[in-house]
Amino acid sequence: MHRTIEFIVGLLFGWGLLLSGMTDPGKVQGFLDLFGAWDPSLALVMGGAIAVGVFAFALARRRTTSFLGGALKMPTSRDIDKPLIVGSLIFGAGWGLAGFCPGPALVSMASGETKALVFVAAMVVGMLGFKLLDDARAPKATHAR
């Protein structure tokens, strides 16, 4: 039953992305083009998402389990560190250049959008590359004899 609920929630999220225009790279780039043909309509989408997020996080802070009974682990770090800043800059640059971020790209890919398929493939390669580099930089565990 949990998987069914998760699937339905995922479909609703994807439908919301389609309905709002977040899956259209041109609309997203128009929103980010402040000095050209700026399209402010996605500000309403973001405002709605922020309002829902504020409500959801306020509710989640009071709970120890999810609505489906699983463990609910809220982030505890409030640090704004170098990895957060660099990651945010990379995310924003990618979103601005491609017109996609991960969620809308997955929805667009599912509808057969070729540009989204290329974006998701590049995103997966980037994620795997980061994991390989991160694993290589991590200190190796030593085994006691």
User: Domain for residue 35, yes or no?
Assistant: yes
| Three-class SS of 65-133 | ECCCCCECCCCCCCCCCHHHHHHHHHHHHHHHHHCCCHHHHHHHHHCCCHHHHHHHHHHHHHHHHHHHH
User: So what's the pLDDT on residue 140?
Assistant: 73
Count of residues for the chain? Answer: 145
Residue 86 inside a domain? The answer is yes
pLDDT score at 84:
92
Give the whole-angstrom CA distance, residue 88 versus residue 46.
Answer: 17
Cβ-contact 16, 104 below 8 angstroms: no
pLDDT of 125 above 90 = yes
Return the structure tokens found at 43.
């500000």
Residue 71 belongs to some domain of the structure: yes
Report the C-alpha dihedral over residues 84, 14, 27, 126, rounded to 10 degrees.
Answer: 40
Range of the domain at 100: 2-137
Q: How many domains does the chain have?
A: 1
Domain assignment of residue 76, yes or no:
yes
Is position 123 within any domain?
A: yes
Alpha carbon 15 to chain centroid, angstroms:
16
Query: pLDDT digits over 1-33, tens only?
Result: 788 998 999 999 889 988 888 888 888 888 888
Rounded distance between C-alpha atoms, residue 106 and residue 124, angstroms: 11
The predicted model gives 92-96 an average pLDDT of 88
Share of the chain above pLDDT 90, in %: 35
Query: What is the pLDDT of the chain when averaged over all its residues?
Result: 88
